[in-house]
Amino acid sequence: MAKMTMVEALNLALRQEMTRDDGVIVLGEDVGVDGGVFRVTDGLIGTFGENRVLDTPLAESGIVGMSIGMAVYGLRPVCEIQFSGFSYENFHQIESHAARLRWRSRGRFTVPMVLRTPYGGGVRALEHHSESREAFWAHMPGLKMVIPSGPRNARALLTSAIRDPDPVIFYEAKALYRAFREEVPEVEETLPIGRSQIVREGRDLTLIAYGAMLRPTVAASERLAEEDGLEAEVIDLLTVSPLDDSLFVASAKKTGHVLLVHEAPRSFGPGAEIVARLVEKAFYYLEKPVARVTGFDVVIPYFSRENSYLPGIERIVRQARGLLAS
């Protein structure tokens, strides 16, 4: 198997799905001639032509509105919004149309579209370029909210998202785009949307993370094992909505201690929903209150303070030790 970056793996998923299905259309700002701001769509216009890889005006609401129309018509558009912080311009189109058409039409119409967008910090970008607002979309009935954590699951999940009959918001962590390489099979591979994975088995503590936060969480678990003799179980959510609570509830019942990690602001974030479900389904198994390591309730800061905002290995290890010691 070839070792790929996340950018290359996503490009492979798009290329294979466009080859398999003539109805798959890619559109967005600079996705054609320039191959996308992060080069995820590099080379697609040369293979599939400008009728299937569309460079659009700088108009996020228009990009999403066109995608909804294409999807209702029977195509499978994959639109790119260059940074998630600019997706508020298309919020109305998603909330009022994409997420509701199945319900509004009593199932007569579905909207099989994917909205891909880079999110999160860690690359010293400007305002509106580093935000982590997955809670907006996860809170919206009718949408699925997917966040891969590495090249292989990014490729498999994007393939599944394109084939899904309903709208999928697909967040891609910029910090992971070229952070590392991973073996990705050339043959088609999918992962079910709505399922999480255990990436490290453990008995003492459950760590739950997703997206760019998975790597520091795994590194923290390895440090806890090496320095403290603690075996943490690490769960990668992969899909924020619908949330696969069966896996982390079972893990919580086994370890009795749970620590959540996400870079989104703390209040009303995905961690709060996970805590609620643990209280509902595993309360009598918890030996301590569920803890969180998250971003702060502020706009993500500029370069010099960015690393202070983002959860890192030190914060995760310190919080885990405190949780188990108190």
Residues designated as active site: 129
Q: Are 220 and 207 in contact (CB under 8 A)?
A: yes
Phi-psi region of 169 (alpha: psi -120 to 50; beta: other; left: phi over 0): beta
Q: How far is CA 1 from CA 54, 153, 156, 182, 191, in A?
A: 31, 14, 15, 9, 18
Quick check: bond before 77 cis, omega within 30?
no
Quote the tokens at residue 205: 């503590």
Cα gap 261→207, rounded to integer Å: 7
The owner of tokens 């982590």 is 132
The burial class, CB within 10 Å (0-12 / 13-18 / 19+), for 293 is buried
The residue type found at 33 is V
- Measure CA of the first residue to CA of the last residue in the chain; give whole Å: 46
